[in-house]
Amino acid sequence: MNAPLPGPLADNRRLDRWVAFPAPGQVTILTGRVEIGQGVLTAMAQIAADELDVAMTRIAIRSGDTEATPNEGYTAGSQSIQFGAAALRQALADIRALFLEKAAQMLGCDARELSIVDGQILRNGVSSAQDYWSLAGMVNLAVDATGTGARKAASEFKTIGASTARLDLPGKVFGAPAFIHDMKLDGMVHARVVRQPNRGASIGSIDEAAIKRAAKGAIDFVRNGDFLAVISNDETAVDLAGAAAADHVTWQNVEAPAASQQEARWLLQRPAIDRPFGAPPSPDAQATERFEATYTRGYLAHASISPSCGLALYKNGHLDVWTHCQGVFPLRAALARELGIAADKISVHHVQGSGCYGHNGADDAAADAAIVALQKPGIPVRVRWRREEEFVYEPKTPAMVVTVRALLDETGKPSDWTQEIWSPTHNLRPGGGGNLLGALALPNPPPAPPPNDVPEANGGGATRNAEPLYAIPAKRILHHLVTETPIRTSALRGLGAMPNVFALECAIDELAERAGADPVAYRLSITADVRARAVIEKVAAMARWDANAPAGTGIGRGIAFARYKNKAAYSAIVVELQVDEDIRLRRVWCATDAGLVVNPDGAVNQLEGGIIQSASWVLKEQVRFDNGVASLDWETYPVLKFSEVPAIDVELINTRDEIPLGVGEATAGPTAAAIGNAVSHALGARIRDLPLTRERVMAALLKE
Amino acid sequence: MPRTFDFTVNGKAVSVSLDNEETPLLDVLRNKLGLMGTRFGCGLEQCGCCMVLIDGEPEKCCAKPVWSIAGKSVITIEGLGSAERPHPLQQAFLDEQAGQCGYCLSGIIVSAKALLDRNPSPTRAEIAAALDSNICRCGSHNRIMRAVEKAAAIMRAGGA
């Protein structure tokens, strides 16, 4: 009798896609999830240690490889633990059961007499002289999962739930070659791409002699249509050539984003596809009062600390690609589609890069390497983007305009809620049909994908977290999917959740103020979900929330809450800050219910990181346009510095729940709104446009 | 015509021959000497991923021409310690799990080493100010600052 399988296991049923016993004493876990700085591989090893009853030290992880691992799509959306862990646990439980069955058969006993300690099989607590490795040759793992193996109960967890040191951290603090940037293949050449400014732009002229002079070393050119690269075995030479090329290559049909297109409100009058969700249009009649406010957020960059990097080798008709992208299988499909090679002639291997926080340049850098490699068969090619190239050409998270309209009942609580959103797509990943940048410069470039966004069943893109979790009788979303954008937009940590939660949680504070209510008490008065109530109450207690703290003193506190995607972790945040010339964060408190937590310290690290990154977005970040992207480096796109980071207290509650809930993106929205609410409290004036710059603070004060 | 430059890296004498004397020290470390621990982040001396000690001073080396290093002493992350003999800073970073993606850590640990060499008892604000020459994008700042405080205490107690 088979049992239903968790999604990723149903998609990858063969058990030998999940585990191998390569040598005595060793276990290899195969996972489609990839390390992007979030610690997922350590969590997977913890899970394997418990489900297989082996020591962590025996476990090696192989991740994200089209030739070896399960296809789990993208490592994104805070889903690795929430869904991926369930799949791995069930696969390993099935595998453990098969080994116990084989051992029972060998020993002529009942499997119930057997247990496993660090891979050794015990019969009634005594060594049976059998272990995983002695039996591995006799247990056929080339079979489908049945879902019948008994997963460990929470009471049996030893490693799951214990804070566990990251497996990848030692290499990084000792300066080992830990990243894709550090890979060296025999005979490798370095390449830099002379980027096509936009789809449809074509090369006018190339002053090869000038570029060669600038390189101060031997370089060659590789060209296919309007795809142009410089290659050399001297990385310094291609760096110099790549930087100089801007002055020595002319382009026709250039379209550059204009300064006038920079702000979110530019989106309001653009062509769009209207996507309504939720309650039918509201009958306003009974409402005694109405509220309306509009909130905006500009374009943001992922701004990964390392520029993107990719390696490729085309040899004997087969293309191998090494990448730090979030999905090796979708990238393989896109390479096949856009470069015209059969997918079974392409292997894609994940190697760690720096934190990506979503769809940065990784896929495109891999495609660049592949395009060059196809022109240079037999020669391994390494492409590393330049810093400016990363800032200009990585997909940005879209600017968004969010208007909240609420009808209020006689007690000042919302009876009807509309969240109207103007946003370009959050989904131009290659797996969502998005193009690979380099392919657009090839002869016969692939067509642009039809406008789409992340399906609401997967949490939505622009609509993510647009529906309040609060008990409001009627809720609706109206999404205008803007189809004309000045730059390429795609997924960044949380997608639409940050602007949506910023809008709705600031609106809730505005409603509380109008009702003369304390923001914590007001939220609790419209919250039925007990887990939501628990994190709000917890964070208020942590921060010693004072309902009577006066507003307008220059020091402010704000609270905000969200359940990420309304189906992952619950997080409530309190921010304390000071506003003088600038906004200075003083303290942040966070209470999170992520259900079962595999690695508590790892989860806290992710929550802290989300708080700091969101604070950076809110206080400092916006991509500027000025006849092209004008945010080119860390001076023109500043991010939060060490001296600007607040003290942060995070507490996890309900960690022994059966079901894990994704945490990686849970704090992005609540942090943004809590800062917005705290600034309003400090100033006695509301700022609804992000980022909260000094100019906006001054303008808000003058208006008051 | 290649020119030869002599200097020391992590206490060892090295001699490199280069056609382009403007080649950044970072490229020499990574591509000529095989020391991959010093990372490329921007090439603009902004992010601090490439921080090394040059004659004891913390310096970004992604745009530092190799000719300017001749005769000097360079210490990289590999020169601080190893898994077998970790520097107190490296051990403290592991103890505090101070990192997420870890790409910035080599440069940050080198900056912290320079700080503790000149100020064995830095305040949190002094640590933050010293590390403002490095960027961490994942948001591990507080763990990193805790690790530096911890390493400082261990080193003051004679742990290194």
* pLDDT(A702) > 90: no
Q: Average pLDDT of chain A? A: 96
On whether both A545 and A693 belong to a single domain, the answer is yes
Q: Tell the residue number behind the tokens 């131009």, with chain if given.
A: A428
Q: What is the DSSP string of A311-358?
A: EEEEETTEEEEEE--S-HHHHHHHHHHHHT--GGGEEEEE---S--SB
Predicted pLDDT at A284: 66
Query: To the nearest whole angstrom, how far is the Cα of A314 from the nearest Cα of chain B?
Result: 23
Asked if pLDDT for residue A1 goes beyond 70, the answer is no
Residue A169 has pLDDT above 90, yes or no: yes
Measure Cα distances from A11 to A5, A63, A85, A87, B147 in Å: 9, 16, 14, 10, 42
Kindly report the number of other CB atoms within 10 A of residue A530's CB atom.
8
Residues of B in contact with A584 (CB under 8 A): none
The domain that holds A470 is classified in CATH as 3.30.365.10
Amino acid A281: pLDDT = 82
Taking only the tens place, the pLDDT of each residue in A595-649 is 999 999 999 999 999 999 999 999 999 999 999 999 999 999 999 999 999 999 9
Whether A404 and A344 share a structural domain: no
User: Which CATH number belongs to the domain containing residue B65 in this structure?
Assistant: 3.10.20.30
Task: Compute the distance between CA of residue A566 and CA of residue A529 in angstroms, rounded to an integer.
Answer: 11
In a shared domain, residues B93 and B148? yes
Q: Which of B59, B79, B99 is the last residue of a domain?
A: B79
Task: List, in sequence order, every residue forming a beta bridge with B8; answer none if it has no partner.
Answer: B13, B73
- Can you tell me the mean pLDDT for A223-234? 98
Does residue A699 form part of some domain? yes
Asked if residue A411 and residue A358 are part of one domain, the reply reads no
Reference A198, options A257, A254, A241, A135; nearest CA is A254
For the record, the structure tokens of A140 come out as 């056929």
Residues 230-249 on A with a CB inside 8 Å of B are: 235-237, 239
pLDDT at A658 over 90: no
Which residues in chain B are closer than 8 Å to A304, comparing Cβ atoms? 137
A540: confidence class by pLDDT, cuts 50, 70, 90:
very high
Coil, strand or helix at A609: helix
Contacts of A388 (CB under 8 A, 6+ apart): A632, A633
User: Which among B1, B66, B113, B137 is the top mutation candidate for probing chain A, defined by the most A β-carbons within 10 Å of its own β-carbon?
Assistant: B137
- Is residue A476 situated within a structural domain? yes
Mutate one of B64, B100, B105 to test the A interface: name it (highest A CB count within 10 A): B100
Same domain, B47 and B104: no
Same domain, B74 and B105: no
Interval A338-370: pLDDT, tens: 999 999 999 999 999 999 999 999 999 999 999
Dist. CA A163–CA A290, nearest whole Å = 48
Question: What is the share, in percent, of chain A residues with pLDDT greater than 90?
Answer: 93
State the pLDDT confidence band at A701, using cuts at 50, 70 and 90: confident
Q: What is the mean pLDDT of residues A17-32?
A: 96
The tokens describing B66, both together, are 């190799």
Q: Is residue A319 part of a domain?
A: yes
List the domain range (segments joined by +) for residue B123. 88-156
The pLDDT confidence band at residue A136, using thresholds 50, 70 and 90, is: very high
| CA distance linking residue A564 with residue B74, whole number of Å | 47
Does any domain span residue A168? Answer: no
Q: Could you tell me if residue A263 is inside a domain? A: no
Three-class secondary structure of residue A195 per DSSP: coil
Which of B28, B48, B79 terminates a domain? The answer is B79
Query: A81 or A576: whose pLDDT is higher?
Result: A576
What's the confidence (pLDDT) of residue A285? 59
Per-residue pLDDT at A336 exceeds 80: yes
- Cβ separation of A387 and B142 shorter than 8 Å? no
Q: Are B97 and A166 in contact (CB under 8 A)?
A: yes
A145 and A201 belong to one structural domain: no
Classify residue A389: in a domain, yes or no. Answer: yes
Q: Are A506 and A412 within one domain?
A: yes
How confident is residue A110, by pLDDT bands cut at 50, 70 and 90?
A: very high
Does B142 lie in the same domain as B100?
yes
Pairing of strands A227-232, A474-482: unpaired
Same structural domain for residues A548 and A506?
yes
Is the residue at A556 inside a domain?
yes
Residues A187 and A152 in one domain: no
Residues A415 and A352 in one domain: no
- Judged by CB atoms closer than 8 Å, whether chains meet at B128 and A645 is answered as yes
Do the Cβ atoms of A173 and B49 come within 8 Å? Answer: no
Domain termination residue (choose one: A130, A160, A190): A160
In a shared domain, residues B58 and B102? no
pLDDT at A83: 86
DSSP string, A18-63: TEE--STT-EEEEES---SSS-HHHHHHHHHHHHHT--GGGEEEEE
Same domain, B7 and B44: yes
Band (pLDDT 50/70/90 cuts) for residue B158 is confident
Residues B61 and B109 in one domain: no
With beta carbons under 8 A apart, name residues in chain B contacting A647.
Answer: 142
Looking at residue B120, the DSSP 8-state letter turns out to be S
- A295 in a domain, yes or no? no
Mark which of A112, A131, A160 sits at the end of a domain.
A160
Q: Is the pLDDT of residue A216 over 80?
A: yes
Give the residue on B whose Cα is nearest the Cα of A188. Answer: B31
A404 in the same domain as A348 = no
pLDDT for the residue numbered A10: 93
Least confident of A71-80, A398-407, A548-557, B128-137: A71-80
Question: Structurally, how many domains does chain A consist of?
Answer: 3
Same domain, B29 and B73: yes
- Is the CB of residue A182 less than 8 Å away from at least one CB of chain B? yes
For the stretch A295-331, pLDDT in tens is 999 999 999 999 999 999 999 999 999 999 999 999 9
A314 and A413 in a single domain? The answer is no
* A11: pLDDT strictly greater than 90: yes
Q: For residue A607, what pLDDT is reported?
A: 98
Q: Among B97, B103, B138, whose Cβ lies nearest the Cβ of A166?
A: B97
CATH number, domain containing residue B142: 1.10.150.120
Q: Domain of A383?
A: 181-250+303-393
* Shared-domain flag, residues A523 and A387: no
Q: Do both A556 and A654 map to the same domain?
A: yes
Give the start-end residues of each E strand in A150-201.
Answer: 189-194
Q: How far is B148 from chain A (nearest CA, A)?
A: 13
Residue B66 has pLDDT above 80, yes or no: yes
pLDDT of residue A174: 98
How far apart CA A436 and CA A331 sit, in angstroms, is 9
User: Do B72 and B92 sit in the same domain of this protein?
Assistant: no
Q: Is the pLDDT of residue A282 over 80?
A: no
Nearest CA in chain A to B25: A236
With beta carbons less than 8 A apart as the criterion, state whether A499 and A402 touch: yes
User: 3-class DSSP state for residue A264?
Assistant: helix
Task: Identify the domain boundary among B37, B53, B79.
Answer: B79
Look at residue B160 and tell me whether its pLDDT is greater than 60. Answer: no
Contact indicator for B17, B70 with CB cutoff of 8 Å: no
In chain B, the number of structural domains is 2
- In whole angstroms, give the CA distance from residue A227 to residue A233: 20
Cα nearest neighbour of A218 on chain B: B19
Does B42 contact A387 at a Cβ distance shorter than 8 Å? yes
**Which among B37, B40, B142 has CB closest to A608?**
B142
CA distances in angstroms from A569 to A161, A291, A457, A597, A653, listed in the order given: 16, 29, 17, 11, 11
Does B20 contact A645 at a Cβ distance shorter than 8 Å? no
pLDDT class for A592, splitting at 50, 70, 90? Answer: very high
